[in-house]
Amino acid sequence: MASLESSVQTITHANRVELRDVIQSLWSGYGVIQRALLHGLPVDGTTDPLPVVIKHIDLSQVRENRRGWGSNLSHQRKVRSYQVEKFFYERFASRCGKRCKVPRLIAAEETENASGWIIILSDLNSDSFNARKDHATLHDMLACLAWLASFHAEFLGTDDHELWPTGTYWHLETRPDEYNALPNGRLKKAATAIDQRLNNARFKTLVHGDAKLANFCFTGGQPASVAAVDFQYVGGGCGIKDVAYFISSCLSDRDAERMQEQLLAFYFDELRQAITTRRAAVDFAALETEWRALYAYAWADFCRFLTGWSPGHWKLNSYTDEITERVLDELDARSGD
């Protein structure tokens, strides 16, 4: 089996590969992400070493994750997710400008054995996006929401079968095990209706699919700029799913309730400006009305997943209970009409 250094050297044509620190392990032990320097590649007219990040993925066997969820279905979902991520970087990343910055693809190779799939990306640290945050200030959150607005504006109306037909890692079709683990009740009964309401949105874009705080990289200056990583679950959908999920990654129940209108107003203002800049022919008033109405459905959909996957999760709280109950009451009222 070829070493990682020799595999990277082969697919990049570098003279030498210098592996550096491991950034993190991939979910469920499917590999590692680590930094490296590629020597001997002319970049921007210089021969300085090129800083890169290597995503080295071992898909040779099914693994059980730390919460006990492990099956062939889960394994195949992960295989598909890395195919999607590679395709996104190959086909779509070049459309992401300064306002929705992402790494650029250097090279990639797929092999289905322990030598692993390899995705090599530009190192955002070398572009000054070198800060990671466990807790977000309001300014941090606004920077991330501005990124999401620009991303959603850029890809409005985009549909590609090589990506997930429905973006996000928790959507109902790919999570039957977690659905079956749901206790019988209103939420389980309404799961399909919630899913259909989101999927039948008139206005669709590409959603990041895992837009949590940990997947944003910040510049150190003020105001901060952000870039995003981890596009394994990018696909079609209404952008408000990313917004709800992002807010869930940052705020407690009380803060989510208190700041909801402020954050949504900012996001939609940024989205309007981004769409206007791109001169896209969109009925923005209708889009905003639809996506605002779907905000609660996006929360309820994510809560459906969490309740089956990890019923004691900290994101299941009074705010999520209230917003989910509101959706269930609305669906009950509609079914009674």
Q: Where in the chain is the domain with CATH 3.90.1200?
A: 138-336
Domain covering 4-127, topology: Phosphorylase Kinase; domain 1 (3.30.200)
- Say what angle helices 253-277 and 318-336 make with each other, to 10 degrees: 70
Would you identify the CATH topology of the domain 138-336?
A: Aminoglycoside 3'-phosphotransferase; Chain: A, domain 2 (3.90.1200)
d(C-alpha 134, C-alpha 272), whole Å: 29
Using alpha carbons, select from 98, 182, 179 the residue that is nearest to residue 143: 98
Cβ distance 143 to 223 under 8 Å? yes
Is 199 a residue whose pLDDT tops 90? yes
Neighbours of 114 (CB within 10 A): 10
Strand segments, DSSP code E, in 73-131 are 105-109, 117-122
Classify residue 115 by burial, with Cβ atoms within 10 Å: 0-12, 13-18, 19+. Answer: middle
- In three-state secondary structure terms, 303 is helix
Q: What percent of the chain is modeled with pLDDT above 90? A: 75
114 or 13, higher pLDDT: 13
Residue range(s) of every CATH 3.30.200.20 domain in the chain: 4-127
Per-residue pLDDT of 137-186, as tens digits, reads 999 999 999 999 999 999 999 988 899 999 999 999 999 999 999 999 99
- Per-residue pLDDT band at 115 (split at 50, 70, 90): low
Which of 47-61, 116-130, 136-150, 244-258 has the lowest average pLDDT? 47-61
pLDDT tens-digit readout, 37-94? 999 886 666 678 999 999 998 776 655 554 445 567 888 888 899 899 999 999 999 9
User: Within 10 Å of residue 249's Cβ, how many Cβ atoms?
Assistant: 17
